[in-house]
Structure 1
Amino acid sequence: MKKLLIGIRRHLKRFFLAIFFGFTTLWAILEPIFSLLDIQTKNYSCCYLIGYFIISLIIALVIVYPKKKVKFGLTNTNTKVEIVFGDLFKTTGHKVISGSEFFDSKIGKPVSPKSLQGVFINSILGGHANIFDTAVNTQLAGQEIATVQRIDGKTLKYEIGTTITIEHNQSTYFIFALTNTDNDCNANSTPSLMLKALEGLWNKVRIEGNGIDINLPLIGNGLSRIGLPPSQLLQLTLISLLKAVKERDLSSTIRIVLTEDVFDKIDLEIIKNNWE
């Protein structure tokens, strides 16, 4: 019911037009048929009118019901973008997860168990943070830009956009540095840092993605504290992606997986119409 109300609110004019045209179309089609078949409707005209209205209302609700999935091509590229509501970890293909510039792995503080990185370490890696740490130490040896003494967490700091990969269950997980963290392990970022981070991510995907579908969450939402509404975060990701694929192909399909908590904040139909 909530989703229906969202659809009606977003497309109120379309909703009433659908009812009107549905009603008039049913009348124009069925009344001549009833006449040809000699079906008497005079004594039941009120019932028929109510029936027309109910059918028209159902048609209108179907038309305005919010889309949960859209797909479109980026102009003059070989890349398709698919935006869906679902679970990132249940998608097919490689997956993207954001983290801080320290690539922390300790669950609780500094890595929230509710974050995608926390879920990845706890659920996908079975709580074996050493797998994560080994990937960081092996792949980023010598790339640290500073050593910072912190109350909790790791001390080696890396460039925003730095990306590591972890192979697990026939998928490659791309973990990239999106946020800065303060001494109390609170993450924060900005739109400009987000664009820089995505540029580093796309470069890594281009090298190690092998053209396989890439699945990423709504980058910058939640604990990243970028300060933009979900719809603008999505647009920023698409702008960054378009720039990247214009320079060189990334993957045939980039899938952005949204969570249900932003359902009422992002109209996928508008996004598709703006980018097709």
Structure 2
Amino acid sequence: MIGHSLRVLLRTPQGLRLLAREWAVQFGLLSGATQLYLAFWPDSSLPRWPALLGIAGLATIGGVLRSWPRSTVSREFTGPGFTVTVQVGDLFDRESHLVVGFNDVFDTDTSDERLIVRRSVQGQFLHRVYAGDLARLDGDLAAALGEVDPTGLEERSAKRAGKLVRYPVGTIAVLDGPGRRFFCAAYGRMGNDLVISSGADQLWHTLWQLWTAVHLHGRREAVAMPVIGAGLARIDSMDHKALLKLILLSFVTRSRESVVCKSLTVVVHPGDYDEVDMLELGMFLRSL
């Protein structure tokens, strides 16, 4: 992680611009302090070149410390008021409402990993939130989807494993948990070959439906979500940075209409940190 942060700082235009700006600020402050010192003690024998090199060195250290890529970037918005954060960490360590990505048949079984891989966010949801109780999770999903009209029913001869009832992409199943809720968002289609497919348009539509569901059922409380569309159910046309920007743009755009929730945190898995430029994301957040 340190090596990645150093590369971002020294090898990207955003990092170099920020480092140069912070160095200039630190150099100006230290130079001003030195001039103030000489104004009060004009007879001081402060050596010119060693002092200049010392100021430059301290400015470099201060500039690096202030511009070093962080594991968290955040921005508070006003009118209406809400906070958006991107943070490296474990989604399931958070006690807020959670968003979990699903496919259009809401498959859940991780037993042989043909349908859902255990280490995926959806697999962790089953094992860490539902303690591996597949029947209870499927029952909760069925209850939440009770009033949603299916789009089709697959034959077992066509889809050899998993569930057969299809729901519209963009369907949000809201599950109740102890003191919080889980927003299960169907953002892709599970093919009969057991491969999930999705795209930018489908993701944008799903996010818009998600913010509506959070607005209605989230009680304006904090929400955390993963980078939907990345990892094992990747949208191949978009990398982590593009997916993050799409999520952030969608949330801020929707929140301009009315408050969705007071706080959204997009959690980046530590293993994906090398694919994310936190400096660029910070600048992107400030531009929204």
Q: TM-score range by the shorter chain?
A: 0.7 to 0.9
RMSD of Structure 2 on Structure 1 (CA): 2.6
- Residues 237 and 22 of structure 1: CA distance in aligned 2, closer, same or farther (over 3 Å): closer
1:100 positional shift = 0.5
Matched, 1:106 2:118: no
1:120 partner amino acid: F
SS of alignment partner, residue 11 of structure 1:
helix
1:5 partner amino acid: R
**CA-to-partner distance for each residue in 1:66-109, whole Å, 9 max, x for gaps?**
242212327x5344323322222222421100011111111112
- Residues 237 and 16 of structure 1: CA distance in aligned 2, closer, same or farther (over 3 Å): closer
**CA-to-partner distance for each residue in 1:221-272, whole Å, 9 max, x for gaps?**
2233222122222232233324433454322222222233145434232112
Counterparts of 1:1-276 in structure 2 under 5 Å? Answer: 1-2=2-3, 3-8=5-10, 9=12, 10-19=14-23, 22-23=26-27, 25-30=29-34, 33=37, 36=41, 39-42=44-47, 48-67=51-70, 68-73=72-77, 76-107=79-110, 108-141=113-146, 143-148=149-154, 149=156, 150-226=159-235, 227-260=237-270, 261-262=272-273, 264-266=276-278, 267-275=280-288
CA–CA separation in structure 1 for the residues paired with 2:31 and 2:82: 45
**CA-to-partner distance for each residue in 1:177-225, whole Å, 9 max, x for gaps?**
1111222311120111112212322232222211211111222222332
Query: What are the ranges of 5 or more consecutive residues in structure 1 without an aligned counterpart?
Result: none
SS of alignment partner, residue 65 of structure 2:
helix
CA–CA separation in structure 2 for the residues paired with 1:272 and 1:212: 21
Q: Which moved more, 1:241-250 or 1:122-131?
A: 241-250
1:32 positional shift = 5.9
Q: Percent identity?
A: 21
With normalisation by structure 1, the TM-score equals: 0.86
8 Å contact 1:4–1:61 — kept in the other structure?
no
**CA-to-partner distance for each residue in 1:16-41, whole Å, 9 max, x for gaps?**
45445544653453366368185534
SS of alignment partner, residue 192 of structure 2:
coil
- Residues 14 and 136 of structure 1: CA distance in aligned 2, closer, same or farther (over 3 Å): closer
CA–CA separation in structure 1 for the residues paired with 2:178 and 2:281: 31
**CA-to-partner distance for each residue in 1:130-167, whole Å, 9 max, x for gaps?**
12100122222363221113122111111111122233
1:12 positional shift = 1.5
8 Å contact 2:81–2:262 — kept in the other structure?
yes
Runs of 4+ aligned structure 1 residues displaced above 6 Å come to none
CA–CA separation in structure 2 for the residues paired with 1:97 and 1:17: 39
Count matched residues.
Answer: 272
CA–CA separation in structure 2 for the residues paired with 1:46 and 1:88: 52
1:91 partner amino acid: R
